[in-house]
Structure 1
């Protein structure tokens, strides 16, 4: 095959179609637990985190929700994935070997946010959130006074045994406008090519480059909407986690009405999760009152 600009244009169309096919094959889950925030700059500062809006009777001037000042910032990162196509393979018309590779590149692009979001969840016990504590922590400060001042109560959103902690599982409230986690997107995954005869890589390596470029990052929303446990996943511990979440209060003592809606588990805990959420009867024959109280999400990214 003689390589011409028309041939390269046709190849770009073919490889992009393979890439798009791979993207369509994926079934990402990040948007079930994270809110998409469009970014238009190098980083975004979420100064409003920590302020749960509520209503009061309007008497006198408006009361601005400024109980605490926070400067939680998410800086976008640059991501890439590149495939090299040998010029000789094009000349010899041996391009079929690349179709699966470009389909896999498309699938990888679609699930890349999954990798980022669930890796963040997994590391939540060592990564700081808006209040300066680790996202999963025993000492989140909550100020009980109406004006948000005074000595804070220290609140936990985790249950980690002191000895022999088990595999982690997570209970989330995903019912609100802002989910517990944030996927910040500056530039969506974009398929590109480097195929000009004057390109250095083509001249020196006799290779055309096709790749994907993206800019994004992930971060934490409200810690009150997530709970981590390394207790055995059973009815008692699941119920305890639900109770702990449902009891969360905002600064000033106002109940947050947190509603646990999703149980996130690794594959190793799928059978235990099914027993808690899907079994109609308990081992003693009694009705399972916890059945269908949350959606079950199994993901390998938190193993």
Structure 2
């Protein structure tokens, strides 16, 4: 095969198709935890309000809402993944042997995003590097609500995954208020958990009857989401994935599909095909998620 511009265009087209097909077969659960925004700036300050929405009766002068403007600042980090190929692979029609490597790039992209989400699920209770807009750790036992002078928790450092623990976590989320002091109408419907807690999660959600023969009030109340990437930590929590904004913000400064970064030819014995992604993750709506650590048996 000749090393012409048309050859490299054709290779790029074939590899892109393989890449896109591989993406369709990879996990997507992490997208339920994030709001994804693409902006071509290195550092961005996101401003938003934390309220449910609604209208007031118009009597007399128009009533203006004086809500707190919440801000989070994210600075992107640079990532890349690529494969190198030799020009003799093109010359002797061996490019098809790179199918597995191209599929690996798709895995790199998806699992990079998964790693960012898992990092926050594991470490979001730490004060260093994981603060939310209220300058508290994203998972925290005392998030302040200005309008009501109350605090709410979305972190439990010793809460078992059983009926009592589920009730406490669920009620805590349902009672959370916005900056205007009104309910945010949080409705957790996903129970996420690490692999070691799978038995407890299934026991409390999938059994119709309790050990004493009574009806299980939590039967099929939540969708179960096992996150193996959490490792052996005894972590679990609840999630409301149906709000306009997710609990985490994924800021993408620049992201492209894989492309020919360097052609192989007279100047280079090897070519490079891959992609760059500039992004970062930050805490957004802590109200839509909670985390608990179950005691070890």
TM tier, smaller: 0.5 to 0.7
1:104 is aligned to 104
2:157 is aligned to 160
1:133 is aligned to 136
Q: Secondary structure at the match of 1:154?
A: strand
Q: List aligned pairs for 1:172-191, cutoff 5 A.
A: none
Q: Distance in 2 between matches of 1:90 and 1:253?
A: 65
Q: Confirm or deny that 1:279 pairs with 2:207.
A: yes
Q: Confirm or deny that 1:113 pairs with 2:116.
A: no
1:79 is aligned to 79
* Aligned residue-pair number: 228
- Inter-CA distance 67–10: structure 2 relative to 1 (3 Å threshold): closer
- Inter-CA distance 100–125: structure 2 relative to 1 (3 Å threshold): same
Q: Confirm or deny that 1:14 pairs with 2:17.
A: no
Identify the structure with bigger relative contact order (alpha carbons < 8 Å, sequence gap 6+): 2
Q: Confirm or deny that 1:243 pairs with 2:171.
A: yes
Question: For the aligned residues, what is the CA RMSD?
Answer: 2.4
Q: List aligned pairs for 1:161-240, cutoff 5 A.
A: 161=158, 231-240=159-168
Q: TM-score when scaled to structure 1?
A: 0.67
2:192 is aligned to 264
Q: Distance in 2 between matches of 1:22 and 1:87?
A: 25
Q: Secondary structure at the match of 1:292?
A: coil
Gaps of 5+ in 2: 232-297
Q: TM-score when scaled to structure 2?
A: 0.68
Q: Deviations over 1:82-123 (max 9, x none)?
A: 111122333343334311110121233244333322322322
2:263 is aligned to none
1:181 is aligned to none
> Runs ≥4 in structure 1, deviation > 4 angstroms?
none
Q: Distance in 2 between matches of 1:58 and 1:269?
A: 52
Q: Give the drift of 1:18.
A: 1.9
